Amino acid sequence: MRHSLPLAPQFYVTAPQPCPYLEGRMERKLFTALQGENAGRLNDSLSAQGFRRSQNVLYRPSCAECSSCLSARIDVNAFTPTKSQRRTTRRNAGLSRRATSPWATEDQYDLFRRYLDSRHADGGMADMDVFEFAAMIEETPIRSRVIEYHDEQTQELIGVCLTDVLGDGVSMVYSFYTPDRPRDGLGNYIILDHIEIARAAGLPYVYLGYWVPGSQKMGYKAKFSGLEVFLGGSWQKMRDPEAFAAETHPLSNDPIAEQVANISLPDLAPRRR
């Protein structure tokens, strides 16, 4: 018997689990599979509506009483580096960038383990083994790249970012870097370099993932000018980060059925050959 994928994606909700960003809260995600010949169009459309990719899944926070997680992106043309960001670029002038296919290597995994052990030893990815790491890098149904940063003198691998190429920008799926250079601001530098990557490709946005007011580990994203957040069904310019609250309320989010009904989908009808 022959089976085919449904034209319209099916959406599901995860069971509540402890929030990794705000202590004492529970998170829940709305998600759908990313597969088939329409994966690129679906990824472009849902990314523009606040979704993120993890392997072959697109997801968006859908917590019962909290709407703190806001999808964030940088408008490349509106971005102007601060003095601190210009210093970060100068500090890392000795790094070279290499773009490769999404293929995991032992050097990448070694760096990934050092990064987690130093920065996120108690995080949800702390127990990820080499096979799970390879799946994170390699299981992508869309146009993705691994951006590596090497020390030009020693050729040591310093940083890595798994990057998706969208129709309107680049999406930084996950980045990690050596913990041995704490003063170099490598996390910020990788973002700054992706702004240049997008600018050179004529792409207007750099998608950063989620910004969470009240979460110290996410605070750095609000320091980039040209930042936009997806709020109330549209992208809005970030003005005063302090104006965003991280409070809970039972009416924070619409019911799941309404959320799904309000998602705009691209034309996923089979293309004529």
Q: What is the pLDDT confidence band of residue 250, given thresholds at 50, 70 and 90?
A: low
Phi, psi of 216 (to 5 degrees): -60, -35
pLDDT at 245 over 80: no
% of the chain at pLDDT higher than 90:
68
Question: Residue 266: what pLDDT?
Answer: 87
pLDDT band at 2 (very low <50, low <70, confident <90, very high): very low
Q: Which carries the bigger pLDDT value, residue 204 or residue 126?
A: 204
Q: What is the 3-state secondary structure (H, E, C) of 92-120?
A: CCCEEEEEECCCCCHHHHHHHHHHHHHHC
Can you read off the two tokens belonging to residue 171?
């999406």
pLDDT tens digits, 7-31: 578 999 999 999 888 888 999 999 9
pLDDT digits (tens, 9 = 90+) for 106-157: 999 999 999 998 876 566 677 789 999 999 999 999 999 999 999 999 999 9
Instruction: Say how far apart CA 175 and CA 187 lie, in whole Å.
Output: 8
Beta strand residue intervals within 17-81, DSSP E: 17-18, 26-27, 29-33, 52-54, 57-61, 70-75
Q: Does 57 score more than 60 pLDDT?
A: yes
* Averaged confidence pLDDT in the chain: 90
Helix axes 130-138, 106-119, angle to 10 degrees: 110
| 58 or 216, higher pLDDT | 58
Residue-wise pLDDT tens digits, 61-100 = 998 888 889 999 999 999 999 999 999 999 999 999 999 9
What pLDDT is recorded for position 180? 94
Kindly report which listed range (121-135, 228-242, 244-258) carries the lowest average pLDDT score: 244-258
| Averaged pLDDT, 225-245 | 88
Confidence of residue 256 (pLDDT cuts 50, 70, 90): confident
Is it the case that residue 5 has pLDDT exceeding 60?
no
pLDDT of 134 reads 96
Stated as kind and residue range, the H or E segment containing 35 is: none
Q: What is the pLDDT of residue 128?
A: 86
Q: Which domains does the chain have, with CATH numbers?
A: 11-69+246-261 (no CATH), 72-243 (3.40.630.30)
% the chain with pLDDT above 70: 91
